[in-house]
Amino acid sequence: MTLLTAILALVALALVFGAILGFASIRFKVEGNPIVDQIDSLLPQTQCGQCSYPGCKPYAEAIADGEKINKCPPGGENTIQALADLLGVEPEPLDAEHGEESVTKVAVIREDECIGCTKCIQACPVDAILGAAKQMHTVIASECTGCDLCVEPCPVDCIDMVPVAPTVQTWSWEQPSTTADSIAAKNDNLIITDKGRGAAA
C-alpha cells in the first residue's frame, strides 16, 4: 500500500513538473540561437568572405555549429582569443589557408583611371563606394572596412588597398619589448632612468 502511494505520488509529481517544463519550453521559447549573435558581435563585420562563408553572420552560425574559430584573418588573434573565451575552447593560431592578418587597410580608387563600370559598387558589402555608370567612382574612406572585395571585379585594376596611417588621434604606444637586445633600441618609450630619477626615498 505504501509502495503504491509512493509510486503514485512520484508519478503525480513527474506529471506536474513535466507539464510545467513543457509549458515553459513553449512559453519562453528563445527565437534563434543567442550564441550566434554573441559570436557575430565579436567578428569584425568586414563581410569579406575570407572564411569561405558569405559574410560574418553565416560564419557565426557555422561557428555555433562547430566550425573552427581560426578562419577570420581581418579579426586576427584578438578575435580568435575573444571567440575562444566566449566558447570555452582553446585558441588556435590563424588558419593561413584563409589569409594572413594584416594592418587595417582602406580601398582607394585611382580616379583618373576609373572607367565608371559600377562593378566595384555592386561588390561592396557596406555601400562604401559612390558613383554611377560612366561616372568616376570613389570610396568613402570612413565606411570602408578594407574587405578587398572590390579589387577583383575592377576591369582596369584601378583600386588600391592602402594601409591606414595612424594620426595623432589614433596613434597609441607600442608594446615595450621584453627581449634583451632590443631594449636599448626601444628605449624611446622609457623616460625615467635610475640616474635621472635620483635615489628612491
Partner 1 sequence: MSQAIKLWDIHGGIHPEENKSQSNQLPISTLPLPKKLYLPLQQHIGSPSELTVKIGDKVLKGQRLAEANGFISASLHAPTSGTIVSIEERQIPHASGLTAETIEIETDGLEQWCEREVITDYLHTDPIALLAHIRNHGITGMGGAGFPTAVKLTPKDDDHIDTLIINGAECEPYITSDQLLMRERADQVIDGISVLGQILKPKRCIIGVEDNKLDAVKALRDSIDAHPKTLPFEVKVAAIPTKYPSGGEKQLIQILTGKEVPHGSIPADLGIVCQNVGTVAAISKAVLEGEPLISRITTVTGDAVSQKGNFETLIGTPIEDLLAHCGVDESKLFRLIMGGPMMGFTLHSTDLPVIKTTNCILAATEQEFPNPAQAQDCIRCGMCAEACPAELLPQQLYWFSRSKEFDKAKHFNLFDCIECGACSFVCPSHIPLVQHFRFAKGGIRQEEQAHIKSEHAKMRFEARQDRLAKEEAEKEARRKARADAAAKAKAEKEAKAKLAESQESPTTNTPTADASEGDDKKAAIAAAIARSKSKKPASNETTPSSVDIKPFKVASSQARAAHLQAQRALNAAKETGELSKEQIAEQEANVSSLKKAYEDAKAKLDQAKNGNTVAPAQEQAPSVDIKALKVASSQTRAAYLKAQRAFDTAKEAGELSAEQLTEQASEVSKLQTDYENAKAKLDAAKNGSPTQTAEAASSPTVDIKALKVASSQARAAYLKSQRAYDASKEDGSTSEDELSAQLKKVEALQSTYEKAKAALDDAKSGKTPASNPVAKEKASPSPSETFENKYKQVKVETSQARAAAKQAQKAVDEANEQGKDETQIKELETALAESVQTYEKLNSKKLVLQEKVKARKAVEASAVSQPKESKPAPETVAEQPPAEDDPTKKLKELKVAASQSKAAWRKLERELGKAQEAGEDTAELEQKVSAAKTTYEQANEAKTTAMAALNS
Number of residues in contact with partner 1 under rule CB under 8 A: 54
The binder of partner 1 chosen from 156, 160, 163, 164 (CB under 8 A)? 156
Cα Rg for the chain, rounded, in angstroms? 28
Task: Output the furthest CA–CA distance in the chain (Å, rounded).
Answer: 96
Virtual CA dihedral for 36, 39, 44, 45, nearest 10 degrees? 10
Q: What are phi and psi of 111, to 5 degrees?
A: -70, -25
Specify whether the CB–CB gap between 118 and 131 falls below 8 A. yes
By CB under 8 A, what part of segment 103-132 binds partner 1?
Answer: 113, 115, 125-128
Residue of 53, 71, 145, 150 interacting with partner 1 (CB under 8 A): 145
Binds partner 1 by CB under 8 A, chosen from 1, 3, 26, 200? 200
Q: Which of 64, 136, 151, 158 binds partner 1 (CB under 8 A)?
A: 158
Q: Do the bridges between strand 138-139 and strand 129-130 make them parallel or antiparallel, or are there none, so unpaired?
A: antiparallel
* Of 17 and 37, CB closest to partner 1: 37
Q: Taking CB under 8 A as the criterion, which residues in 169-188 touch partner 1?
A: 170-176, 178, 180, 183-184, 187-188
- Assess contact for 148 and 48: CB atoms under 8 A: yes
**Which listed residue (40, 53, 137, 150) binds partner 1 by CB under 8 A?**
40
Q: Assess 133 for contact with partner 1 (CB under 8 A).
A: no
199 contributes a contact to partner 1 by CB under 8 A: yes
> Which of residues 27, 32, 93, 195 is near partner 1 by CB under 8 A?
195
The verdict on 55 binding partner 1 (CB under 8 A) reads yes
Any idea which residue has 559600377 for its cell?
A: 118
The one among 33, 52, 102, 189 contacting partner 1 by CB under 8 A: 189
- Beta-carbon contacts of 46 under 8 Å, excluding residues fewer than 6 positions away, are 56, 74, 125, 145, 146, 147
d(CA 176, CA 75): 23
Asked if 88 and 35 touch (Cβ cutoff 8 Å), the reply is no
Task: Enumerate binding residues for partner 1 (CB under 8 A).
Answer: 40-41, 43-47, 55-56, 78, 81, 85, 113, 115, 125-128, 143, 145, 154-158, 166-168, 170-176, 178, 180, 183-184, 187-201
